[in-house]
Amino acid sequence: MADASRVLQVSPVIPVVTIADPQHAVPVARALLDGGVGIIELTLRTDSALESLKRIANEVPDILVGAGTVLTPRQADAAVAVGAQFLVSPGVTPGLLDHMLQLNIPVLPGVATVGEVMAVLERGLKAMKFFPAGPAGGPDYLAAIGAPIPEALFCPTGGVSLESAPAYLSLANVSCVGGSWLAPRAAMENDDWEQITNLAGEASKLSGNQVNNASRS
Ligand code: 3PG
């Protein structure tokens, strides 16, 4: 099933994590889990990202690990080959979407306009990443889309924080938010896994629309 609605039910916040040193991969994943966050979107923005993804998939089976920043079919294939359980792209192109839809795992394509939302729905997917959420219009924008197109479900990401998350999570068409604030680079470099656990703990207590939205999927 390519639709990622169920992936959006795992946690009120999907941590968007960029790891430079693969040795940090397993400790970051465990720290997030210890804080109650059972999902991680690992961005393909570093040379060693696939190695980090592989380590998490192999060594931390309790966390759902997906690849983020998927820009090309080749990246999608490489991520699946090392164990990615879902794929996230910052935007959609017909070629990338066609390819990802053949891979038999949940796909969360990025959208920022009403036309893109309609195009993704046309392909049979209800769940989407709204990116970049803050600059693109924030909660007001998503609330406005919900009037004509209530069936689309969003994970707003990009400029979302612990403080701004509740305004998104109160919307009927938002299942969860995404953000990089849960795994700061400095915390990883200082091996401060407790900080990441604490940030995850705060995030996991945010109340989302997850129960409401679960009944819609
Ligand atoms: C992403 O790829 O989803 C964003 O880079 C995350 O945005 P943020 O750093 O503003 O949370």
15-29 pLDDT per residue, tens: 999 999 999 999 999
Domains with residue ranges and CATH for the chain: 7-214 (3.20.20.70)
Q: Which of 41, 59, 116, 205 is catalytic?
A: 41
Distance from C-alpha of 29 to C-alpha of 96, rounded to nearest angstrom: 28
Residue ID of nearest Cα to ligand 1 atom 6: 158
Which residue has the CA at smallest separation from atom 8 of ligand 1? Answer: 158
Per residue in 126-179, pLDDT (tens digit) is 999 999 999 999 999 999 999 999 999 999 999 999 999 999 999 999 999 999
Among 14, 130, 157, say which to mutate for ligand 1: greatest number of ligand atoms within 8 Å of CB: 157
Give the sheet arrangement for strand 39-43, strand by strand.
107-108, 87-88, 64-68, 39-43, 13-17, 177-179
Active-site annotation holder among 122, 129, 189, 194? 129
Number of other residues whose CB lies within 10 A of the CB of residue 31: 25
Q: Is the dihedral of CA 157, 158, 163, 164 positive or negative?
A: negative
- Specify whether the CB–CB gap between 103 and 73 falls below 8 A: no
Known catalytic membership, residue 41: yes
The CA 46 to ligand 1 mean position distance, Å, reads 15
Asked if 194 and 32 touch (Cβ cutoff 8 Å), the reply is no
Residue with CA at minimum distance from ligand 1 atom 5: 158
| Alpha helical stretches, state H, the chain | 25-34, 49-59, 73-81, 94-101, 114-122, 133-136, 138-146, 165-169, 185-189, 193-204, 210-214
Q: What is the pLDDT at residue 209?
A: 56
Nearest to 130 by CA among 149, 115, 117, 119: 117
Our answer on whether the CB atom of 197 is closer than 6 Å to any ligand 1 atom is no
| pLDDT tens column, 68-123 | 999 999 999 999 999 999 999 999 999 999 999 999 999 999 999 999 999 999 99
Residue 159 Cα, ligand 1 centroid: separation in angstroms?
7
pTM of the model: 0.94
- Quote the ligand 1 centre to 32 CA distance (angstroms): 17
Q: By three-state DSSP, how is residue 27 classified? A: helix
Rg over alpha carbons for the chain, rounded to the nearest Å, is 16
Q: Is 51 a catalytic residue?
A: no
